[in-house]
Every structure is written in C-alpha cells, then in structure tokens.
Chain A
Amino acid sequence: GAGVSQSPRYKVTKRGQDVALRCDPISGHVSLYWYRQALGQGPEFLTYFNYEAQQDKSGLPNDRFSAERPEGSISTLTIQRTEQRDSAMYRCASSPAGTSYEQYFGPGTRLTVT
C-alpha cells in the first residue's frame, strides 16, 4: 500500500516568505507527527496530532510555526516569515491507533531559505 507522502520534496524560498508543507499519512493512521532534522543531526519533534486534535505542540520553535490537520488525515505545517535558520529537512510520520509505537516516516521536505 501507499506510504506516507510529503510535498513538495524540495522547497527553496526567500527570507520573509511563508511556506506550507504537506503530509499525507498512511490511510487510516490515527496519529501524525512532524519532526525537523538539521544536517548531521537526528530528527527533533515539533508537534503531534491524534485525528484532528493537536495533542502536543511543545516542539514548535516559535509562533511563526503552526500546523493543522482539519479532517484528521492530511496535515499542513506552515512557517510564516521564513528565516535562514528554518532551513532543514522537515519529516512527517504517522502511526496507527492503539499502543503501537511504530512510526512510518515520509521522505521529507528539504526546505532552503535564501
């Protein structure tokens, strides 16, 4: 079956522009996670949804970052007024309901802010 997909795969934007990154989880997966990964580092948690409810946004670095999952499926991570320090790989993962801890990751979106 189809895995987690993310779009765009690559995004180059100018400083000050807004960007929207999309994640399409595996069909039926309840939980959806966003991570950010700097070069040479492990992914860092940003935020997490169960269905459409945002359960934890403690990892969002500041109020320029927001995420939504309005229908409990596709999610969008939005970064307003981008800065060069926002350049990173943004990864989405989903997992099924219940006590499963396994997260299935998408290919990521490489964001470059110039």
Chain B
Amino acid sequence: GNSVTQMEGPVTLSEEAFLTINCTYTATGYPSLFWYVQYPGEGLQLLLKATKADDKGSNKGFEATYRKETTSFHLEKGSVQVSDSAVYFCALSERAGGTSYGKLTFGQGTILTVHP
C-alpha cells in the first residue's frame, strides 16, 4: 500500500535559518504530492503541491520538488520566520487508471518551532 515517511521532529530553528523537512513516499502508481500545514489552533491548509515528476511546487517562500528517482518530496525554505512555526504534513494522492481520486495518505507530521 501507499505510505509517506517524514523526518522525525521536532525541528527548532532560529529566524532566517534554512529549513529542510525530508519526505519520502511509497506508491504503486503515479501519485500527486502535497505539503499541508497546520498552524496552532487551526485546521490543515494546503501549502503546495506537485502532480508529476520533476514538478516544483512553491508557496509563501516554501518549495518542494517531486523526485521520482528518489521517491522524495522534501520541503525547503531559505529563510524561516517565527510565523512559520507550525506542524507540516507531507501527503500523497494516487490516481487509479487515470481517474482523479483524492484520498490522501499522510506522513506523521513534523513540528517546526522558529525562535526570534
């Protein structure tokens, strides 16, 4: 079956530091890949997505590149801010026979804390 593995947290950084959160996946077909973010006290929000190999998703200074050869979708940001403190979830959604199918498989989440 499908699975997503994220790097263990929590991750603690100083403001303006470089961020990487690793994510690798296992899937039998051609998944789309996502990063979701959950800010304190809020629901899950889509941060970025990539639907095919070599696509780069980007939003709010965050980037992730769909690497089929390494089955990875690592999240990066060049300079984090205190407001980026949140829980980050990597997820995949697999199409079956070319039909869109949005069932998401999530990683366990990585807690990021950014200090001033």
Contact = CB atoms under 8 A, between A and B. Distances in A.
A42 B110 CA distance: 9
A40 B46 CA distance: 19
B49 A42 contact: no
A43 B105 CA distance: 8
Nearest to A43: B106
A95 B100 CA distance: 11
A54 to B, nearest CB: 13
Most buried by B among A43, A56, A93, A95: A43
Prevailing SS type, chain B contact patch: strand
How extensive is the interface on chain A, given as a class? 20 to 34
Interface in B1-35: 4, 32, 34
Given A33-B103, A48-B103, A98-B100, 10 more contacts: A41-B108, A41-B109, A43-B89, A91-B44, A93-B44, A101-B49, A102-B49, A104-B46, A105-B36, A105-B43
Interface of B: 4, 32, 34, 36, 42-46, 49, 51, 89, 91, 93, 100, 102-109
Interface of A: 4, 31, 33, 35, 40-45, 48, 56, 91, 93, 95, 98-108
12 contacts: A33-B103, A33-B104, A42-B106, A43-B104, A43-B106, A56-B103, A93-B44, A101-B34, A101-B49, A102-B49, A103-B46, A105-B36
